[in-house]
Homo-oligomer: A and B are copies of this chain.
Amino acid sequence: MTFGKAPDPMPAGASLLASRPIPTAAINRLSHYLRCLLELEARKVRNVSSQQLARSFHLSAAQIRKDLSQVGGFGIRGVGYEVPSLIRGLKQVLGLDREHPLLLVGMGNLGRALAQSPVFQTAPFRIVAVFDKDPQKVGKPVAGLEIEPMSALRAAVSRFGARIGIVAVPPRAAVTVCRALAAAGVQGILNFAPVRVPDLPGCAVRNVDLIVTLEELVYALRSGGSDGALRPEGV
């Protein structure tokens, strides 16, 4: 900014958190940047420029600079970014500077696979309790945990301080389970069931909808294009 800074009521240091809401697409990109930076860190790389980062991803250097400048003044002009400090900064922005205990509901094929997946056993994420409504399954061990009944949800939320639940139940049960999680105090849900979950006050939902993703892929076949666009979503 060149001019017009006089009426600045923002106290210094308040810029990291609580600034303007960052669009979801940008958050996704920050996740990717973080992953790449962790790889660089493992390779003992100490600093990196937006150019170099842009080569690793499929993005423009300008986009990276915009994203990073938006979330805080990392980066040294004329030099680039210092890897360890940028990692710390991104973790803080994304909220990854603390543990995130996860509750997993639904111990069918998918649920059992997720319970054992390295993704959910890598800091800062860890599955701390698993649930199923089937009395036959309750009490059985899965991935070092004992399957609990749905009635134990609320207790688990407060015991572990869990804020995130994972839903891996059949479609027809998904909405009920999501409501139960929200009622138990969970603030975020990762939903694997191919159904649209209605708004749950105080609880954010992200869907991993394999049918939609597959259909998106089918449509992409037609154009032969290998776009990929970073996310999608997702993903």
Contacts and interface: CB of A to CB of B under 8 A. Distances in A.
A96 B219 CA distance: 9
Nearest to A212: B31
Given A113-B113, A226-B199, A207 B187 contact: no
A205 B234 contact: no
A2 interface: no
Interface residues of A, number: 76
Given A221-B188, A231-B235, A235-B231, A206 B216 contact: yes
Interface in A185-219: 187-190, 194, 196-197, 199-219
The complex is assembled from copies of this chain, and their number is: 2
A88 to B, nearest CB: 15
Given A235-B208, A235-B231, A94 B218 contact: yes
Given A119-B194, A223-B21, A27 B215 contact: yes
8 contacts: A34-B215, A58-B196, A109-B113, A188-B220, A206-B217, A207-B235, A209-B235, A232-B232
Given A27-B216, A119-B211, A203-B226, 12 more contacts: A28-B216, A58-B199, A95-B222, A96-B215, A113-B113, A164-B217, A187-B224, A204-B220, A206-B217, A233-B234, A234-B234, A235-B235
